[in-house]
Structure formats: structure tokens, C-alpha cells
Amino acid sequence: MTTLRLVALVDTGCDLLAVSGHGDDLTSAALGVDVVIIATPDAAVGEVARSIRPVDATVVLHLSGALGLDVLVPHRRRASLHPLAPLPSAEVGRVRLRRGITFAVAGDPMAAALGRALGGRCIEIDDAHRAAYHAAACIAANHLVALLGQVERVATAAGLDLEAFLPLAAAALQDIVDLGPAAALTGPAARGDEETLARHRAALGAALGAGEVAGYDAGVALVRRLATEVGVVTADAAMVPCA
């Protein structure tokens, strides 16, 4: 998906002079260009950055959501640009990157300039908050997808398919947009309905095993925490064990 981001920039009119791959000599990559974009897995960003001879006028930029700017030492002009959007395929991503999404930026103003060129909204994330920002992004996208994977498994056990539950999930997300998480919260865990929760656990355990119950209980704990914070249930009710 990283090369895809470069293609999306080309769509805006940027000139892409070269794309280098594993094993290429990158020593002179910063010569004669405005920006070098490091579009590698996180573990390789620092090594790639160090392999490029610094050029004071050239920005060296990475696309990681989790890494700070220190990984780009020794370059003087350092930046990061991270799209706050899932990119599940080349076709979806190339379009989504230019649909006014949010980009997390840091460092040299070039990062924000590229985000705006893609039609996006830019938010500054400093290195001190980078890990928390990326954790929130992963929860919002990756964890949500995994949660709906659980919905699919449980629905299948009940003789249903995921599609039957997608309007419910979409409505809950819209309620969050309109009302915020606290006001959108509903359901037995928020009400402290322990008998219903116990029936859920028994059904999940019988059909899918203890692992599925553990995932369900993790969700129940999050619901209880939110419900307690907004005063929907008492702290004592929220402390009732999940198992």
C-alpha cells in the first residue's frame, strides 16, 4: 500500500522521478529532488534513511503512523505524513487518499503541503504523542474490523450471515457521529443486565469455545467502563466479573 500512496501523489501533478526497491543503492537518492519519501515497513525506515546521503535542501519523509522524526536522522529536513484511513486495496486506496481524509503530519512543512495537495485535512502530531495517536488509529480501524469478524463468526453459529448485522453496526457508528460515544451507548452491559450477559456467554462457549467468550468479555469490559464514566451504571455494577 505504500507505493500506492506515491501513485496518488502523481495523480495530483507531482513528478515522481524514481522508485527504488530493496537492494538498490540509495546513496544519491536526495540529490536533485524536493523530497524523498520512504515508503517501507516501519522496521526498515531508519536503515533506509541512514543509507541516503543528506542534502540540506531535500526533505526526507516517512509514511509511518507510529514512528517519530528521530528515525530520519541525520537528515536536516525531516517530516512524516500518515493517512488516517484504511487502504485495503490498490483500487480503494488510490481513490480514498484523495477524498478529503485526515493526514497526521510532523516536521517540515512539506508534509502538510503534500497532504493538502491530496485534498486532505492535516493535523500536527508531535513525537511525544505519536504512539498514542497510532494506537487510537489501530483501534478505530483494525480492532473494529476484527470485532466485526467476531460478529461474523457468532452470526454463523446462529445460522445467519454478517450482512444481517451490518445495518446495526452502521447505525451505531452514525449515532457516535451524531451524539458521541457516551450518548450512543446501549445494550445489556450498559444497563447492568447480568442475566442476559450470562446467557450470551453460555451460548458463545457452547458454540465457539472459551476463546470467543474471552473476546466477548473484553468488549463487555469496555462497555462497562464507558457506562460507568457517564453514570449509566454504578461502579459496583461495572465491577461484576465477566467470567
Condensed to tens digits (0 to 9), the pLDDT of residues 129-174 reads 999 999 999 999 999 999 999 999 999 999 999 999 999 999 999 9
d(CA 185, CA 67) in angstroms, rounded, equals: 33
- Where are the strands (E) in the chain, listed by range? 35-38, 59-62, 77-83, 102-107, 121-124
Please name the residue ranges forming H helices in 52-106: 90-96
As given in the structure block, the three cell numbers for residue 92 are 480503494
Type of residue found at 220? V
Q: Which domains does the chain have, with CATH numbers?
A: 2-125 (3.40.50.720), 132-238 (1.10.1040)
CA angle 218, 220, 221 (to 5 degrees): 65
Give the distance, in angstroms, between the CA of residue 111 and the centroid of all CA atoms in the same chain: 19
Of residues 61, 59, 51, the one with CA closest to residue 5: 61
| pTM for this entry | 0.85
Q: Is the four-CA dihedral 178, 179, 181, 184 of positive or negative sign?
A: negative
When mean pLDDT is compared across 24-28, 106-110, 216-220, the lowest value belongs to: 24-28
d(CA 186, CA 227) in angstroms, rounded, equals: 9
As given in the structure block, the three cell numbers for residue 152 are 461474523
Element (H, E) at 48: helix 42-51
Most confident of the following: 1-5, 213-217, 235-239: 213-217
Return mean pLDDT, the chain. Answer: 90
Give the distance, in angstroms, between the CA of residue 182 and the centroid of all CA atoms in the same chain: 21
Q: Are 65 and 142 contacting, i.e. CB atoms less than 8 angstroms apart? A: no
Condensed to tens digits (0 to 9), the pLDDT of residues 175-208 reads 999 999 999 999 999 999 999 999 999 999 999 9
| Mean pLDDT score, 220-240 | 73
d(CA 25, CA 106) in angstroms, rounded, equals: 27
Report cis status (omega within 30 of 0) of the bond before 54. no
